[in-house]
Amino acid sequence: MPSQKAVLALLLAAVTLGVSGCKKRTVHAAPPAVAPAPPAAPPPSSPAPVETKPEAPPESAPAPAPTPPPAKPAPAKSRPPDPPKPAAPQISPRLSPEEQAIAERRSNEDIYAAERNLQAAYGKQLNTSQHDLVEKIRGFLGQAREAMRAGDWVRARNLAQKAQVLSVELVKSL
């Protein structure tokens, strides 16, 4: 049987622990990591502080200190969209008036040939690959005309050639 002094010491230690208890802790939200954006919409309400209440420790062992809940990450602030970038300038070689006339003539010839070959495909039943060819040819023709309007004759010539070559392939596959 334990001595009276030992019992008294244990009782005194238990009373001391019970009286001291745990200190109340108030958890506050962390400050935002990013500077707030201009108020376009009302900011989200911050959560109310959470108070933890001390638990009565058992008389035989001290209670572990309560751990605060993990901090919630700050919501990511969305950046305003970047302003649209201006179109990149087209770099094209300088052509002499003779070279420009030749490029213009050949571009028109290729566009005419491609359109003539497209006419051969109208009214016919096309499979998937033939339909894709028709769409590519139309795209190249549109881009070639756009390049002609911009005065980029080298680009217009290249696009018209592509349309013409694909149109020949389309006619062969019919």
- In CATH, what number is assigned to the domain containing residue 108? 1.20.1270
155: domain range? 97-173
Question: What does the pLDDT look like over 120-162, one tens digit per residue?
Answer: 888 888 899 989 999 999 999 999 999 999 989 899 999 999 9
Six-digit token string for 96: 């002499």
Give one DSSP letter per residue of 54-71, joined into a string: PPPPPSSSPPPPPPPPPP
The DSSP symbol for 41 reads S
For residue 68, what pLDDT is reported? 66
157 part of a folded domain: yes
User: Per-residue pLDDT for 115 more than 90?
Assistant: yes
Which position has the higher pLDDT, 19 or 113?
Answer: 113
User: Per-residue pLDDT for 55 more than 80?
Assistant: no
Which position has the higher pLDDT, 19 or 110?
Answer: 110
Instruction: Specify the number of domains making up the chain.
Output: 1
For residue 124, what pLDDT is reported? 85
162 part of a folded domain: yes
